[in-house]
Amino acid sequence: MRIFTAVDISGPVKETILNIQNELKNQLPCVKWVEKDNLHITLKFIGDIEDNGLEGIKTAISGIAGNFSSFSIHLTDIGLFPNVKFPKIISAKIEKGNDHLKEISGALNTGLAPLGVEAEKRDFAAHLTVARIKDPQKNKDMLDLVTQKKLNINCSTKINAIMLIQSKITPTGPIYTLLENFNLCK
């Protein structure tokens, strides 16, 4: 079973992103747009686990969630991630609440390591994936459109829980199944 942790975003934010996707769809055939129901902010990719390891992971995440309070995030610019030179995705930048997300991600990294979950070596960079770029070098001219348009979603949403999600990879895209919500309840 392939799993990861994430936080959800509100319906109005998803609608705003969907409107931007619709605006850009015809101009950017070189990307795979993230479906509305799959929009989220990943905190920690856990990877493939055996079914018998799931309960220990749930217990650890529950304990971690209990150490944090709800908070708000503010999303702003739509841009290329991780950078303009070598983009892999089109994403929404998180302006406010980034420190909280980074703190939770770090706690998940530390708290899941004793269970054999490999710690992330790169610094956490919070973002919300709007689209995945199929061939960035081949489609550079089209992708320049994203930076030229200066798209801004200017939306806020409350973060109340850490989600544990199962991901099944299919030829048409990932299928996400929510396994459990862990409320932030400090």
Scanning the chain, the segments in alpha helix (DSSP H) are 11-24, 54-65, 98-112, 140-149
Residue 13 phi/psi, 5-degree rounding, is -65, -40
Q: Which of 14, 31, 127, 131 is catalytic?
A: 127
DSSP code of residue 86: S
Q: How many other CB atoms are found less than 10 A from the CB of residue 79? A: 21
- Extended strands (E) in 17-172: 31-33, 41-48, 71-81, 89-96, 127-133, 152-159, 161-170
Q: Which of 14, 40, 44, 100 is catalytic?
A: 40
Cβ neighbours of residue 115 closer than 8 Å, sequence gap 6 or more: 53, 56, 57, 60
Measure the CA–CA gap between 98 and 44, rounded to whole angstroms: 14
DSSP code of residue 8: -
**In this structure, which amino acid lies at residue 103?**
E
Does the annotation count 100 as an active-site position?
A: no
Residues marked active site are found at 40, 127
